[in-house]
Amino acid sequence: MSKPIVAIVGRPNVGKSTLFNIFADSRISIVEDTPGVTRDRLYAEAEWLDRRFTMVDTGGIEIANTDSISVSIREQAKIAIEEADVILFVCDARTGVTTDDQEVAKLIRQARKPVVLAVNKTDTPTQEMEAYEFYNLGIGEPFMISAANRLNLGDLLDAIVDHFPKEDDGDDEDNEDVIKVAIIGRPNVGKSSIFNDIIGQTRSIVSDVAGTTRDAIDVPVMKDGQTFLFIDTAGMRRKGKIDEPIEKYSIIRTLRAVDRSDVVLMVLNAVEGITEQDKKIAGYAHEAGKGIVLVVNKWDLYEKDNNSTVKFTETIRKELIFMPYANVVFVSALTQQRISRLPELIKDAAEANAMRISTSVLNQVITDAVAMNQPPMEKGKNLKILFATQVKVKPPTFVLFVNEPEIMHFSYQRYLENKLRDAFGFQGTPINLIVRGKNEDQ
């Protein structure tokens, strides 16, 4: 199932971004005492009690302010509330309940979503006593916290996680025999046309107007004895290109589709080439550890010569340097050229993504790789690889136990990854190598 989404909302300068950065364990949001610093929604992954979730940081909501920026911030916050599985409503103990707090509370109640109320900046016993007035918001029990001093954040996260859907609340898509496939890419690259060609019937609207597909659509398909669950998604645009609220709403659905999938079909436009947005979308799928097939659509419109596919593939490898493992296929949704190859490539990527290697065979490959190319000496020490084991699949993840983890150079780690790929294939999937000291836990 996809990761739950937690939207952090509230009026300006109550500490939303500080909480966001603590939970994300990074400085993704700018934290400043000036109200209104955060304007757009920001997304980050977080984890608590072995539950991973996506956080959405939003700008401060000012109901009375009617300037264009404030109106845009309110729209963004409303969309985040609609997207969310749980809403974290943040208030300020020092100022007490304000009119904006009351208006935000009203907005939240209308959404009919689970809500956790955090009263931030509760740094003294006096402030804690005064914070009980926040019961009057009608949201529920307030959690007295201090983001700056990291007080009571564990209890707050416990309450948030308690509202998540149960992990076994799945449906047929949890069947291990079903390969879940998300079709992603920028708007108007031909995702819906490819989707329709694969499933053999028109289920998505196909239009030349960018952004026609708003929702993710799931269709199970049987091909050559294999069941696929295809997830068609709305196109993802750069922030500056997103004007309609409903299109903003579709972005998180695309991310959810990637989270749910085993394999991603990343659709590229042959005529337009590789864009920065393509890199960002592909990067999300790569970081999520999904099997990936790069589908270059509109190949019938591309001006070709005898080396066109070779040259274009070289461009892809250069621009998407982080995923040299992905198969590339050149198609035309209009003429259905090579569309029939996609199910086979999807199946290959799914099998590689779920591949498990026995410990004895894995260690033999690592031993042979070291014999062929000894690790370079670092800081006067020799790196010794003591033992290797696979700890998970989807994507295949391996732990290398070594004598001195700090002297493992990234170039040698890349060499070992290439040797694993040479030995076992892993075509179409990222793999992870984790380096540990000999006495560290996996």
Tell me the pLDDT tens digit for each residue of 177-236.
899 999 998 888 988 889 888 877 544 445 555 554 444 557 788 888 888 888 866 544
Rounded to 5 degrees, φ, ψ at 314 are -60, -40
First to last CA, the chain: 25
- For domain 359-437, the CATH architecture is 2-Layer Sandwich (3.30)
Q: Does domain 172-353 have CATH number 3.30.470.20?
A: no
What torsion, rounded to 10 degrees, do the Cα atoms 406, 408, 411, 417 define? -130
Query: What is the reported pLDDT for 397?
Result: 96
Tell me the per-residue pLDDT of 259-276, one tens digit each, with 9 for 90 and over.
889 999 999 999 999 998
Q: Is it the case that residue 439 has pLDDT exceeding 50?
A: yes
Q: Which CATH number does 5-162 carry?
A: 3.40.50.300
The 8-class DSSP code of residue 227 comes to E
Query: What is the reported pLDDT for 217?
Result: 58
168 — pLDDT class (breaks 50, 70, 90): low
Q: Is it the case that residue 238 has pLDDT exceeding 50?
A: no
Tell me the per-residue pLDDT of 217-227, one tens digit each, with 9 for 90 and over.
577 888 888 88
What does pTM read for this prediction? 0.65
Collect all residues with Cβ–Cβ distance below 8 Å to 404 and sequence separation of at least 6.
378, 381, 383, 384, 437
Assigned token pair, 70: 């404030």
Task: For CATH 3.30.300.20, list the domain ranges present in the chain.
Answer: 359-437
d(CA 213, CA 331): 21
Angle subtended at Cα 347 by Cα 344 and Cα 350, rounded to the nearest 5 degrees: 150
d(CA 359, CA 39): 50
Task: For CATH 3.40.50.300, list the domain ranges present in the chain.
Answer: 5-162, 172-353
Coil vs helix vs strand at 282? helix
